[in-house]
């Protein structure tokens, strides 16, 4: 069990995310905005994501211009085979509220594997996992 992570199995109803966390379990990394923008967006299943925040400011979620000054895509970190939602919780919840099972995100691969859940857009759109070893 990862400290600060609530496993999805503790939920009693259908869940949006794989787990809800309140911290980043991966090493501190300072990725410049330019590096994030170099990563191509890809589809990631909401059910494969572990959040790094427990709390969301509703003003951020409901703001019409919430992405005006930032990246249009969520930021996800692949660490030890898990996908962590670094930034974009409000985007992920908007997708869930619209009943979309996937989110377009930039994925930073700290594992170096290059293999990410949702690599196959057709499988991701159908709610199936992509191949990850």
pLDDT in tens, 49-62: 999 988 877 776 66
The token duo for 84 is 């962590």
pLDDT at 47: 94
Is the pTM higher than 0.75? no
C-alpha–C-alpha distance, residues 97 and 119, integer Å: 23
Structural domains for the chain: 5-24+32-125 (3.90.1530)
CB-based contact 106:36 (threshold 8 Å)? yes
Q: Is the pLDDT of residue 26 over 70?
A: yes
Lowest mean pLDDT among 8-12, 24-28, 103-107: 8-12
CA angle 29, 129, 106 (to 5 degrees): 30
Q: What is the DSSP string of 33-74?
A: HHHHHHSPEEEEEGGGEEES-S---HHHHH-TTTTSSS-SSE
| pLDDT for the residue numbered 48 | 95
């Amino acid at each position: 069990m990862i400290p600060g992570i609530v496993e999805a199995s503790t939920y009693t109803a259908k869940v949006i995310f794989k787990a809800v966390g309140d911290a980043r379990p991966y090493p501190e990394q300072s990725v410049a905005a330019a590096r994030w923008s170099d990563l191509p967006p890809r589809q990631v299943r909401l059910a494969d994501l572990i959040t790094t925040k427990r709390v969301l400011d509703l003003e951020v979620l409901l703001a019409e211009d919430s992405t005006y000054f930032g990246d249009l895509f969520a930021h996800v970190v692949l660490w030890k085979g898990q996908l962590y939602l670094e930034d974009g919780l409000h985007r992920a919840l908007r997708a869930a509220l619209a009943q979309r099972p996937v989110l377009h995100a930039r994925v930073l691969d700290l594992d170096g594997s290059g293999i990410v859940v949702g690599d196959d857009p057709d499988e991701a759109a159908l709610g199936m996992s992509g191949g990850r070893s």
